[in-house]
Structure 1
Amino acid sequence: MCARWEHQTALKGDVLYVDGGLETIYDGNERWTDEFYLGLNYYLLGVNMSGSWDWETNISISIWNKSASTPSPPTSLRGHLFQGLPEDPKIYLYGGADFSSNSSRHNYSSPNAGVLWSYDTVERSDWAAIDISNASPWQPTRGAHAEASDLGLAFYLNGEAGDVESIAVWGNLSTLVAHLEGMIVLDTANTTGRTAWNISTEAMTGGTPRSGAGMAYVPEMGESGALVLVGGIAREPLITDDPASGELINLSQIQIWDVSSWLSSPDKNGTWYTQTATGTVPALRTDFCLVAATAADGSSHNIYLYGGRNPKSGTIYDDVYALSLPSFTWTRLFEGQSPRWGHTCHLVPNSTQLVTLGGALDLERATCDWEWRGVAALDVWSVTWNSVFDAGARPYKVTQGVAEVVGGGDAGGATLTAPAGGWETEALAGLFERRGSSSSTSTGTAAAGSGSGSKGSSTGAIVGGVVGGIAGAVLVALAVMRLWVRSRISRGAS
């Protein structure tokens, strides 16, 4: 492989799965001089995340042949791979564009509209197809996606639909696409007998759906978490052959969707809020990656943005920004000389390690990724890029550059806790009311030290009992939350 982009990924347990995507492949033995051709990644790949690695020397990547499955799942571009509940062994593949010019290779299976695919990562048996055609008549690509894995819910917003007959319009995946309204909500736990909903987003988009946007789930906001939507390009829901048509969304305009507002009435569309962000706002762009983490004390939620491109100007970015909530402040953390777009990234839970996967370095086919294994690691605390993934870089710590802007330190303590221009609605401010000590459970836990002598043993026993009690309480709280979510969805579905 020379480069891979427009794929889909999921971090499940100790494995980072990579599915589909476009690849440039060199036809010969000389990586940098032989002729390249365009193809697809027909396999499911798995990066071992159970320990530290250096992609230059000792990274372990497994390969599974999807075409051996009956039924055979599709090879697609820019859908999404969802991890499901932590205790669920399956991963879930939704959406993605068709690349029909390669349909004769590798027992190629075209994406099917109205299907959610699942794969058991423990049994490693055949893939299974779940019919969701009532909610998803299209096979969307380049939509914004996020997952509330603690609730067993996944989200895919807007995007495009169309076969990839050509790459003449590079990066748009097709010369003819339709732009899609709505947000698909998937119940990967499927405890209600219903797997998917298609809810309207017109109140937020104004009738001009987005593609190439980024969306992140923040579990600590509100009663059941919230989705944070940024960037992308908005277009009329019509068929077009111009990848630069439409209006790029200013990244100072942040949209928030309250998950509990939909859970209380699943037959409706939930509530969207808009808030203006300040600070060093990123340039207009699409096709970046977005992840979120919360300070140990819950005083700030930090959403990291990396890379992307401007489809109108052709500019590609190599930069990292953080959007800190509830101050709604953008901070530029890094600016380099190795731009990329069409990549994915994951922030390892309770860690400072952000792992990036793939991406195109320019708008040409014959450019190899210098990160030749297709992965890299960024420590978000020190903002240091490395070929090494450090499995011991725990817990999550607020980025130093962010703390300098919003106040506090590694564990939180933010003093800037409201937007500079005030709240655009007090209801949005209510989503940031702290929910007590449980607000830090998804990203940070305190480590207990060990003493010496009998006092040390006694302290260790007390600390162990306290930590065990907290852990038990958290597990009970999660179980209650899931039952509450299921009951609310069931009432709405019935």
Structure 2
Amino acid sequence: MFSILISFTAFLSLVGPSHQDRKDPVRDFCRRFGHATAHIDQRLFVDGGLLNWIPLDQNPNNFSNPYLLYSSLTESQEGMPKQYANLTKPSTVPDVSGGILWADEVNKFFFQFGGEFQGTAQSFDALPYYDALYDRWDTTDTPGDLNRVSFGAGVAVNERAEGYYLGGWMSSSTIPGWTGNPIATANLVRFDMIKRTFNNITGPDLRGRAEGSMVFLPAGDSGLLVYFGGILDPSRNGSMTASPMNTIQIYDILSGKWYTQTATGDVPASRRRFCAGATWPDDHSSYNIYLYGGLGIPPNGTAFDDVYILSLPSFKWIKWWPAKGTKPTASGHHTLTCNVINRTQMLIMGGSFPNTQECDAPNQSGTHNMDLSGNATGLWTLFQPNKTSYNVPPEIIKQIGGGGKGGATLRTPEQGWDSNDLGVYFTRIPSLSIRTATRNIPTATSTSTPKPGTVSSGKKIGTIVGAVLGGLVLLALLLLGCLWILKRIKTKREQREANRPPGELDASTQPTELNTESDIHPFQARDKAGVIAMDLVV
């Protein structure tokens, strides 16, 4: 009995401090950056990146984010999507920064590609993917010649079930055994989400590039990829030169050809690690790419807090916010994510703030919302879940003509096309077939709660709670068992005393005693499981 109580006391002392020392990724959130996001149905998934905890002055270090979170687009938390941290993520799934999540919105998967480690780099022999229906992870094989890269430009083309990733860094943080300087790659990687196969495609040129942004536009015969910004590594030795913001790279998916077009207007300052998202009116007379934030090119360490719009096919940059001549603020940040929801709003999440020690809207999980239809004075708004209609903002209409529902009159660059073929693509709207799922999809998946998976890593709060409750139940059973054994021994002893004739005990006979020690500690297995759970628990 005494050893059991000592064991249970030790168990509680192990659980208590570990649980108190653990941070809650929602309640204790201060900042996040370098993460990746994926939009499936009414959930915006958040994976990886680095975290800062509150209060920041007591938690100045950056911590790798081991959690898979999601923001519910149907629930509000102070006007922004409410965030949850109750999803499975085994310890075998990498916790990386600067990667991408390719979302297959039809089959309800997302695939984790790229990213760098804070510690020792791991081999890239399998591509992790997450099943949003059943809250579980799996992997698919990767080619032996495919290296992990970080901070490239990625985009998922849901209409084609394809993921793309241009450029990115190879370094000791991405490839085991790497020595020497980081090197930016020049190639475009294409991933088929159905066949689970990769293709390595030539990039715009042979220069390495990284830290720019790429979006998909439904133009041409099968869609276009548009890339801009970031850095160039022309010598492939980790050097950084600016990729000019007026140089726009366009990839035609059907022909596999790259084009370059020069943009005009209010061209933004050169930058990297910004985020961008695209939308368009129903008539496709313009495609408007919204850019936010970013970081200057070394030696310029400026962090930007501004919004620009690149309108195509006029290839005209428009400064949307703040007004020209406005003094820069300390809120500039970079290494963040942008997600366009229903073509009407853009959720901007996280970022690194080099010029301030303030937390990033902790009560809203570091989420901000841009109304893509508003005007420059009212673009920052609370999230509206039911907003589904996009109107071209007046600042864009002033530059390209037309109205809120489209009808743009400026349909060519002011200085002409750098390639006449490119102009033809913007006169066409692709006939992309509606995809059907390749597996059984239950009805009403958009509002369902994911089924709990096997939490091999113990990254849920429920794990520690379950361990404690399980320990209490086990203790109760052990105590009852001990009481029953003691009572049974006492009963048998009384029976023997009653039946034994008077006299002394034989010298060879030893009194029966309850063994207070055991070869197996009654909480050994539970303690071990508890340690695993608490090392990774929310």
TM-score over 0.5 for the pair? yes
Q: Structure 1 residues 97 and 297 mapped into 2: Cα distance closer, same or farther (>3 Å)? A: same
1:60: how far off?
A: 2.1
Q: Indicate the residue corresponding to 2:38 in structure 1.
A: 10
2:145 & 2:410 partners in 1: Cα distance?
41
1:314 & 1:50 partners in 2: Cα distance?
38
Q: Indicate the residue corresponding to 1:129 in structure 2.
A: 139
1:97 aligns with 2:116: yes
Structure 2: stretches of 5+ with no match in the other structure: 1-28, 323-327, 439-538
* Letter matched to residue 422 of structure 2: L
1:478: how far off?
A: 2.4
SS of alignment partner, residue 95 of structure 1: strand
1:389 & 1:175 partners in 2: Cα distance?
45
Q: Indicate the residue corresponding to 1:277 in structure 2.
A: 263
Q: Indicate the residue corresponding to 1:188 in structure 2.
A: 193
Q: Indicate the residue corresponding to 2:99 in structure 1.
A: 79
SS of alignment partner, residue 83 of structure 1: strand
Q: Indicate the residue corresponding to 2:60 in structure 1.
A: 36
1:112: how far off?
A: 3.4
1:409: how far off?
A: 1.5
- 1:53-88 CA distances to partner (integer Å, 9 max, x unpaired)? 3x436742121455536xx2100001101111x321
Of 82, 86, 97, 1:60 maps to 82
Q: Structure 1 residues 344 and 175 mapped into 2: Cα distance closer, same or farther (>3 Å)? A: farther
* Letter matched to residue 391 of structure 1: P
Of 259, 283, 297, 1:297 maps to 283
How is 1:306-385 mapped onto 2 (pairs within 5 angstroms)?
306-312=292-298, 313-335=300-322, 337=329, 338-350=331-343, 352-362=344-354, 366-370=357-361, 373-382=365-374, 383=376, 384-385=378-379
Given that 1:164 and 1:175 are in contact with CA atoms closer than 8 Å, whether structure 2 keeps it comes out as no
1:399 & 1:75 partners in 2: Cα distance?
39
Q: Indicate the residue corresponding to 1:171 in structure 2.
A: none
1:161 & 1:81 partners in 2: Cα distance?
18
* Letter matched to residue 339 of structure 1: G
Aligned length: 395
Given that 1:42 and 1:65 are in contact with CA atoms closer than 8 Å, whether structure 2 keeps it comes out as no
Of 47, 52, 65, 2:71 maps to 47
> When the two structures are superposed, what TM-score results if normalisation uses the length of structure 1?
0.75
1:12: how far off?
A: 1.0
1:177 aligns with 2:182: yes
1:385: how far off?
A: 4.7
1:319 & 1:90 partners in 2: Cα distance?
33
1:181: how far off?
A: 2.5
Q: Indicate the residue corresponding to 1:485 in structure 2.
A: none
Q: Indicate the residue corresponding to 1:469 in structure 2.
A: none
1:328 & 1:131 partners in 2: Cα distance?
40
Please tell me the root mean square deviation across aligned C-alpha atoms, in Å: 2.4
SS of alignment partner, residue 74 of structure 2: coil
SS of alignment partner, residue 234 of structure 2: coil
* Letter matched to residue 250 of structure 2: I
- 1:322-375 CA distances to partner (integer Å, 9 max, x unpaired)? 11111111101002632110000111024x2110110011168x5532455211
* Letter matched to residue 221 of structure 2: E
Q: Indicate the residue corresponding to 2:50 in structure 1.
A: 22
1:228 aligns with 2:226: yes
2:317 & 2:288 partners in 1: Cα distance?
10
2:361 & 2:37 partners in 1: Cα distance?
20
Structure 1: stretches of 5+ with no match in the other structure: 104-109, 166-173, 262-269, 439-473, 483-494
Larger Cα-atom Rg: 2
SS of alignment partner, residue 150 of structure 1: helix
Given that 2:274 and 2:335 are in contact with CA atoms closer than 8 Å, whether structure 1 keeps it comes out as yes
SS of alignment partner, residue 427 of structure 1: helix
* Letter matched to residue 253 of structure 1: T
- 1:102-122 CA distances to partner (integer Å, 9 max, x unpaired)? x7xxxxxx6432432111001
1:45: how far off?
A: 0.6
Q: Structure 1 residues 11 and 58 mapped into 2: Cα distance closer, same or farther (>3 Å)? A: closer
